Amino acid sequence: MAAYPEGTKMTTMSSGGRRKVHYTFPDESEMVEEYDLQTDEMVVRKRCTKTVLGAKSDWVYEVGEAPARVTIENDMMRPNATNPILTRKDRVNAFEWRIRNLPYPKPTYSVTLDAEARQLVVRTTNKKYFKRIDIEDMDRMRLPLEESALQWSHENNTLIIQYLKPKQVLQFEQQNKAERLAAPAESQPKPDGDVDCKQQ
């Protein structure tokens, strides 16, 4: 499999209007991606790894949002509706982050690139919000970050940040698409396409 390390195992299944792709890597870490069957847009990417003691970690969401937890009392645990909420989406030509519940005027925001730390930095002049954002795809491919690829806007109380994908990422995604579409499908789908890793 050229898109990922040699020895990576990939299986796919379709359910609920989504194609789910499950990867198991040689280091026994796992990744699940979910794509909209109509648009082929990635709606979820989550990863889990092994801890130092060999146990599986919780799923970490890179794209999309983790489902709300259900407590013993059967209540749904969700973030406070007024707190800023950061989620990442995947666009054809750009990585995109949306931070909801930021009601301040556009001049309040600063979105910059910290080249040394390899992060996007969001701050407000009123010191009400500060966030550092990793671009995992760029880190995995060891690609340099370019200030010219960064753009952002603010509308409807939402800060929208985009980082344009370099040609190396676009080429990788095209290659990966061909491989996942050719991957064998599971005859009996596993719950949520997950294996072993604990649920959020």
Q: Which whole number is the average pLDDT over 57-65?
A: 90
Q: Which whole number is the average pLDDT over 108-130?
A: 96
| Residue 13 near residue 28, CB atoms below 8 Å | no
Which of 26, 46, 67 marks a domain boundary? 67
Which of 44, 67, 90 marks a domain boundary? 67
Residue 182: the pLDDT is 82
What are the two backbone dihedrals, phi and then psi, of residue 197, each rounded to the nearest 5 degrees? -60, 145
Question: Are β-strands 119-124 and 130-134 bridged in parallel, bridged antiparallel, or unpaired?
Answer: antiparallel
Identify the band that residue 54 occupies on the pLDDT scale cut at 50, 70 and 90: confident
Q: Determine, yes or no, domain membership for 93.
A: yes
Helices (H), 52-152: 136-140
Q: Are residues 136 and 111 in the same domain?
A: yes
Domain hosting residue 56, numbered range:
7-67
CA separation for the pair 46, 3 (Å, rounded): 17
Q: Which whole number is the average pLDDT over 147-152?
A: 97
| Residue 68 near residue 125, CB atoms below 8 Å | no
Identify the band that residue 180 occupies on the pLDDT scale cut at 50, 70 and 90: confident
For the whole model, what pTM was predicted? 0.79
Name the domain count of the chain: 2
Q: Determine, yes or no, domain membership for 72.
A: no
pLDDT over 60 (residue 57): yes
Q: Are residues 45 and 114 in the same domain?
A: no
Give me the amino acid identity at 143.
Answer: L
**Neighbour tally for 127: CB within 10 Å:** 7
23-39 pLDDT, tens per residue? Answer: 999 888 999 999 999 99
Quick one: which of 85, 2, 89, 86 has its CA closest to 39? 89
Sheet holding 9-15, edge to edge: 9-15, 18-24, 30-36, 42-48, 60-63
Helices (H), the chain: 136-140, 167-182
Dihedral in degrees, nearest 10, Cα atoms 95, 45, 60, 190: 180
